[in-house]
Amino acid sequence: MWLLRRKGPSGFSSSSTAEEVTDGIDGTGLTAIVTGASSGIGSETARVLALRGVHVIMGVRNLEAGRNVKETIVNENPSAKIDTMELDLSSMASVRKFASDYQSSGFPLNILINNAGIMATPFGLSKDNIEQQFATNHLGHFLLTDLLLENMKKTAVESEKEGRIVNVSSEAHRYTYPEGIQFDGINDESRYNKMQAYGQSKLSNILHANELTRRFKEEGVNITANSLHPGIITTNLFRHFNYGNGLANTVGKLIFKNVQQGAATTCYVALHPQVKGVSGEYFMNSNLHKPTQHGQDVDLAKKLWDFTTNLIK
Contact of 102 with 148, CB cutoff 8 Å: yes
**Which of 192, 198, 243, 282 is an active site residue?**
192
Structure letter (DSSP) for residue 306: H
* 185 phi and psi angles, rounded to 5 deg: -150, 30
Coil, helix or strand for 161?
A: coil
Question: Which residues 6+ apart lie within 8 Å of 40 measured at CB?
Answer: 233, 235, 236, 237, 259, 262
* 90 phi and psi angles, rounded to 5 deg: -85, -5
Cα 140 from Cα 262, distance rounded (Å): 22
Cα 112 from Cα 141, distance rounded (Å): 10
**Catalytic residue flag (residue 192):** yes
Cα 37 from Cα 82, distance rounded (Å): 11
Question: Which residues 6+ apart lie within 8 Å of 53 measured at CB?
Answer: 26, 27, 28, 29, 30, 81
Question: Which sequence positions are flagged as catalytic?
Answer: 192
